Amino acid sequence: MSSTEPTADRVTRADRLAPVEVAEVLALARIAGDADGADPLDEHVLLRLRDPEAPAVHLTAHAADGTLTGYAHLDTTDPAAGIGVELVVHPTYRRQGTGRALTRGVLAAAAGPLRAWAHGDHPSAAALAVDLGFTRARVLWQLRRPLTGALAEPRLPDGVELRAFRPGEDDDAWLALNARAFGQHPEQGRWTPADLRVRLTEPWFDPAGFLLAVESATGRLLGFHWTKVHERPGSARIGEVYVLGVDPSAHGGGLGKALTSAGLAYLRDRRGLDRVMLYVDESNTSAVALYERLGFARWSAHVNYHLG
């Protein structure tokens, strides 16, 4: 992205993309992610791209020869809370006005406040945000640590045991726990049965890596650590602390630390991984402190900008 005047890129709006267009966008995202060290589109957008029924606005920028030079995704499911925006420009076509042309298209297509993610906190994105009046509202850290050294021994509170998630049986109880654990979270706490179901059918899903902490006497869910393994051709495999949550009633007993340690051990010992990452809000100082005590360090930042 750039602060120069737009090039001759043609920006087109569509409510749906054809499969070949989706493939082009995914290829563009992979190229940009490899160049920047951070994927430009988050999981939510990637899932929606593959779902032809998901409501969204798609903006594509093309050079005169038809090359896809940029893409913007507008999530219009909750315009009152703000339209979610994610934008990516092909590395070869940056600093030529493509980002600005797409952003102007976003402003023309959107009615209401905007929430735009800049994955990797790229300087060009920050400059463009300032130029167009966006304010920096939220920072999401990606933390990483190696799995080659010693891991803390999981020490569960008395009367608590671990077991694997059972698809179809634990769905409703887990959604209720997730809502309690993330009651103040702008995305995670609002997961629906459809949000869970689409992830349970993803190729990476492994129920053995979805650990539940349950009360031994009653079976009540108290916490969970859902792990994920990223595998991409040409890139090293890496694990992720995908979602980790504890029921507010179980806070303060060390359950979060135990669940984290158990998940890390699973990724190392059962999946053979030597590194792991996670995402955490900068404002969640208690979680950041917990992860840093467990050996995680800051790797990159993802910034959410607001307008309106």
Domain chopping of the chain, boundaries: 10-133, 144-300
> What is residue 3's predicted lDDT score, i.e. its pLDDT?
37
> Cα(94)–Cα(89) distance, rounded to whole angstroms?
6
Q: Which residues are annotated as a binding site?
A: 43, 87-89, 187, 228, 240, 244-246, 251-257, 279
pLDDT band for position 128 (50/70/90)? confident
| Residue 109 neighbours by CB distance under 10 Å | 17
User: What's the CATH superfamily of 10-133?
Assistant: Gcn5-related N-acetyltransferase (GNAT) (3.40.630.30)
In this predicted structure, the answer to whether residue 118 has a pLDDT above a threshold of 60 is yes
Which homologous superfamily is 144-300 in?
Gcn5-related N-acetyltransferase (GNAT) (3.40.630.30)
Of the ranges 183-187, 249-253, 285-289, which one carries the lowest mean pLDDT score? 183-187
Range list of H helices, 145-236: 171-181, 193-200
Residue (of 184, 155, 153) closest to 253 by Cα position: 155
231-255: pLDDT as tens digits: 987 778 999 999 999 999 999 999 9
144-300 matches 10-133 in CATH topology: yes
The residue to which tokens 């430009």 are assigned: 40
* pLDDT for 8: 56
Residue 5 has pLDDT above 70, yes or no: no
- The confidence score (pLDDT) of residue 4 equals 40
pLDDT reading at 306 higher than 70:
yes
Q: How confident is the model at residue 184 (pLDDT cuts 50, 70, 90)?
A: confident
Q: Is 245 helix (H, G, I), strand (E, B) or coil?
A: strand
Q: What is the pLDDT of residue 177?
A: 97
Mean model confidence pLDDT for the chain: 91
- Amino acid in the structure at residue 280: V
Strand partners, 86: 73, 117
pLDDT in tens, 19-55: 999 999 999 999 999 898 889 999 989 999 988 788 8
73: CB partners within 8 A, 6+ apart = 41, 45, 48, 49, 56, 57, 58, 59, 84, 85, 86, 87
Element (H, E) at 90: none
pTM: 0.86
| C-alpha to C-alpha distance for 212 and 102, rounded to whole angstroms | 43
| Per-residue pLDDT, 247 | 96
As given in the structure block, the two tokens for residue 98 are 């493509």
pLDDT at residue 1 greater than cutoff 70: no
What are the backbone dihedrals phi and psi of residue 69, each rounded to the nearest 5 degrees, phi first?
-105, -15
Q: Is the pLDDT of residue 7 over 70?
A: no
As annotated, the binding site for acetyl-CoA includes 87-89, 244-246, 251-257
